[in-house]
Structure 1
Amino acid sequence: MGTITERRLKDGSIVYTAQVRIMRDGKKASASSSFDRRPAAEAWLKRKAAELKKPGGFEQLSRIKGNGATLADAINEYLKTSTRKIGKTKGQVLAAIKNHDIAAMSCEQITSKDIVAFAQFLNAGGRQPQTAANYLSHLSAIFAIAAPAWNMKLNSVEMDAAVAVCRRLGLTAKSKKRERRPTIDEMDRIMAYFEEQARRRGSMPMHMICAFALFSSRRQEEITSLRWEDLEPGRVLVRDMKHPGEKDGNNIWVDLPPEAERIIDAMMTRDCERIFPYNHRSISTNFTRATKVTGIADLNFHDLRHEGVSRQFEMGRTIPQAASVSGHRSWQSLQRYTHLRTTGDKWAGWSWLDAITRKSGGVARQ
C-alpha cells in the first residue's frame, strides 16, 4: 500500500518520500510526505495504514491536502513560503523535528498531550529544558499560521496549552544567562599569543579584533561586516544586526567608544570595502584555539561583548548610554547589567591598547 523513495539532493543529503496510494470503489486517494530519516518515513506509513483501517479512513485520505497534511508537511510549507530569512538555528531545529514521530502525525490529530510527550522525549534524550523550550518556540510559529495560511489543521490552542504544561512540569526552562567575563590577565595572555601569530605573513590580526570586540561590544559577524563608508566620527552603522524578529535590514547606528575608534584608525585597510575583511567563522575558530593553547577555560569570543557591555555600566553609564554602544533595542535586555556597581574602568591604561594602535593590522583575508 505504501512506498518509500530515496532521493539525493544537490547538497549531498538524502530525503525519504513516503507515499500512500489506494483505490476503492473506483476512487483514488493518495498522500505523501518527505523526511530526513527513513525511520520517520516508515513511522508515517505505519500511521497512515492504521488510519485507513478506521471507519472513514479512506474518506479522510481523500480530503484536500490541507486536512490530510502532517506536521512535516506544515514545516515544509513554512520553510518554502516564508519570505523572511530563516535563521540557521531555527532551520536546524525545524529539520530535526521532522525526524521525530510527531512530524508524521496528521495536523488535526495533534493535541497538547502529543506535544508534551515530544518535550518529554527531548528531555529523556539528554537535551536540556532550555533546548526543549527552543524547540517548542520554533514549533509554535508553525502552529500559529498553518491553519489560516494553508488550511493545515494545527491547533494553536493545543500548542499554547502544551507550552504551559511543559513549563509547570519543568520540561522547558528559560536559557541561563552566561556571566563569564575575561580577566585582564587572560586577555594579556590571549593578546600575546595573537601578536606572535600576527608576525606570520597573511595571518588575521586577531589581537586587534579581540580588543575591538571588547571595547566596541560587537559580535563577530558584526565586526566583519563593518564598512568604511558607514564609519563616521564617534559612530558606525551595523548592518543586519542580530534581532529576534528581523534577520535582514535591521541596520543600527551605534556609538564607538574612543578605544574602538583608535583600533579602527590603526587597521589601515581602506583599500577594502570592509574595515575587518575576514571570515567571521575563522574568528571563533582562532579564539577557541588560543584559549586552549594559553590554558584559559570556558571563555568564548562572545564573552568579549559581555565584558564590553559590563564595562559601560561599571563606568557609570546609564541604560540608554550603554544601549547606544551595544545596539540593544530593548532596554529590558540590559536589565541583567544594572546590578553592576560603578567601580571605574578596569581597562583604563591597558598596555595592549597602546601596543596594537601603534602598528597597522594586516589585510589578509580568510
Structure 2
Amino acid sequence: MGTITPRENKDGSTSYKAQVRVRKGGKVLHQETKTFERRQAAQIWIKQREAALSHADGLKAALQENPSVKEMIKQYIAELGKPLDRTKKMILNQISGSTLGDIKAAQLESADIVGYMRTVDVAPSTRGHYLAHLSSVITLARPAWGYPVDASVVADARIALTRMGLVGRSKHRERRPTLDEMDRLMAEFGKVREGTPDSIPMQVLATFTIFSLRRISEICRLRWDDLDEDGCRVMVRDLKHPNTKVGNDTWVDLTPEALRIVKAQPRVDDRIFPYRALTASTAFTNAVQLLGIDDLHLNDLRHEGASRLSEMGWTIQRVAAVSGHRSWNTLKRYTHVRKVGDKYENWKWLDVIAPSPDYAMPES
C-alpha cells in the first residue's frame, strides 16, 4: 500500500510525497518515492507503480535500476564532464566508503543521511559541504539517469541536522594583527631568510596577502602570463567559490601596493610566486608560535587587507573587485568600519620587499 505525506514548501504551498514499498519476509525489498504538486497526481502515480511492481518483470526491472549511493557517486564523477576539486572529490569518496554508500537509491531516506552525518567528526559548517556535495549527486540521479531516488531526502536531512545544531554556517573570524605584531613577524621572517637564503620569502608573501586579499594557495598559482600590468589586474586560476573552484578563473584588480610587489619579483618561473602554499602556511604558524603571538592565522591577513580598504573609504563593490567575491554579502561586515585612513601608510616593510626608486635601505 502506498502512502502520501503532505509537505509544506518555503513559499507556503503544499506538495505531496508519494511512496510505494515492496516487502518480502518483513524486509523492504524495494522502495520508490516521488513528490507531486497535487494529491491526485500522487494517487495516480502510486496506483501505476503498484500495478507495475506487482508483476515479476516489473519488480525485476525496478531492482536492476536501483543502484547504491556509491554507484551513483561513481557515475556522477564519470559523467560530470569537468574535474572535481580536491575537497569535493575527497568528501564524495568518503561517503562512498561508508555505510551510507551501500544504501540503494530507492531505499535512501533522510534518516540514513542524518545518521551518517552524526558520525562525521567535523565542524557544522563542513557538514553543510557534505550535504551540498551529496545533494549534487542525488538531484542529478532521477532526471539524468532515471534512478528511483527522492531528491527531497537531502533537504529533509538538512532541516533536521540544522535544528540539532549539527549543521550551521561557519563563524567569521575577526582577528586582525596589530602593526606591532606585523613588525615582529616581518623582522623574524627577515632573520630566517638571512640565515637561509633559499628559504621561502615570507616577508613578500605575508605582505602580498594583505595588499592583494588573496589566499596563499591562490597566490602560489598566479602566473606571469595572466598579469595585465596596464590594467592593474591579474587572472586568478581556480578561484575558490561555494559551488565550484576548478575552472573558476577570475580577473581581479590589484591594489597599487600589490602590483608594486609583483613587479619586484624575479622572473625565474612561469609563476609569479613559485612556492608551495603549505610551506608558507607552516612557516607563518611557526613564526607566530615562536614569537608568542596569540591566535593569528595567515588567512587572517586577508581580513586585515579588506578591513584596510574599507577604512580607506573603499566601497563594497570596489573591495569585491580586488577580493573576487561574486556576492557582496560576505563583504557586508566591513560596511560598519569607519573611514579612518590607511593603517599601512608609510609602512617601512613595503619599501624593504619592493623598494621604490627613491628609497634608501636602513642601516643595519
TM-score (norm 1): 0.76
* Residue matched to 2:263: 265
- Say which of 113, 116, 119 aligns to 2:117: 119
Match of 1:157 in 2: 152
AA partner of residue 281 (structure 1): L
Q: Secondary structure at the match of 2:87?
A: helix
Q: What residue identity is the alignment partner of 1:260?
A: A
Q: 1:211: which partner in 2?
A: 207
The alpha-carbon distance between structure 1 residues 250 and 116, as it changes in their structure 2 partners (threshold 3 A), is closer
Percent identity over paired residues: 42
Q: Per the alignment, in what secondary structure is the counterpart of residue 252 of structure 2?
A: strand
The one-character-per-residue Cα deviations of 1:148-205 (angstroms, maximum 9, x if unpaired) are 2223322102222222222233231111122222221221121111111222232221
Pair 1:228–1:130, CA change in 2 (3 A): closer
User: Does the 8 Å contact 1:167/1:173 carry over to 2?
Assistant: yes
The reply on whether 1:99 has 2:94 as its aligned counterpart is: no
Q: How does 1:67-82 map to 2 (within 5 A)?
A: 67-82=65-80
* Alpha-carbon distance in structure 2 between the residues aligned to 1:83 and 1:127: 29
Cα deviation 1:194-218 (Å, max 9, x = unaligned):
1112222322211111101111111
Aligned equivalent of 1:329, options 326, 332, 339: 326
Structure 2 length-normalised TM? 0.76
Aligned to 2:308: 311
Which amino acid is the alignment partner of residue 123 of structure 2?
A: Q
SS in 2 for 1:68: coil
Q: Post-superposition shift, 1:65?
A: 6.9
Partners of 2:299 and 2:28 in 1: how far apart?
57
Q: Is the Cα–Cα contact under 8 Å of residues 315 and 343 in structure 1 kept in the other structure?
A: yes
Residues in 2 aligned to 1:56 and 1:337: alpha-carbon distance in whole angstroms: 55
Q: Does the aligned pair in 2 maintain the 1:225–1:238 contact within 8 Å? A: yes
Give the aligned partner of residue 224 of structure 1: 220
1:338 paired residue among 321, 326, 335 = 335
> Which residue number in structure 2 is paired with residue 177 of structure 1?
172
Task: Work out whether residues 216 and 280 of structure 2, in 8 Å CA contact, stay in contact via their aligned partners in 1.
Answer: yes
- Give, in whole Å, the separation in 2 of the partners of 1:154 and 1:178: 39
Change (3 A) 1:51 1:262: farther
Partner of 1:244: 242
Cα deviation digits, residues 32-69 of structure 1 (max 9, x gap): xxxxxxxxxxxxxxxxxx97885868989954676331
Shift in CA distance, 355/54, structure 1 to aligned 2, threshold 3 Å: closer
Q: Take 2:159 and 2:114, find their aligned partners in 1: how far apart are those partners?
A: 10
Equivalent residue for 2:276?
279
RMSD after superposition: 2.7
Judged with a 3 Å threshold, the aligned counterparts in structure 2 of structure 1 residues 130 and 56 are, in CA distance, closer, same or farther, namely closer
CA contact (8 A) 1:129 1:171 kept: yes
CA distance in 2, matches of 1:55, 1:266: 68
Distance in 2 (alpha carbons) for counterparts of 1:85 and 1:270: 30
Structure 1 stretches of 4+ with a deviation exceeding 6 A read 50-53, 55-61
Q: Hey, what's the Cα distance between the residues in 2 that align with 1:115 and 1:169?
A: 14
* Equivalent residue, structure 2, for 1:20: none
Residue correspondences, number: 307
1:228 deviates by 2.4
- Deviates further, 233-242 or 172-181: 233-242
Equivalent residue for 2:183? 188
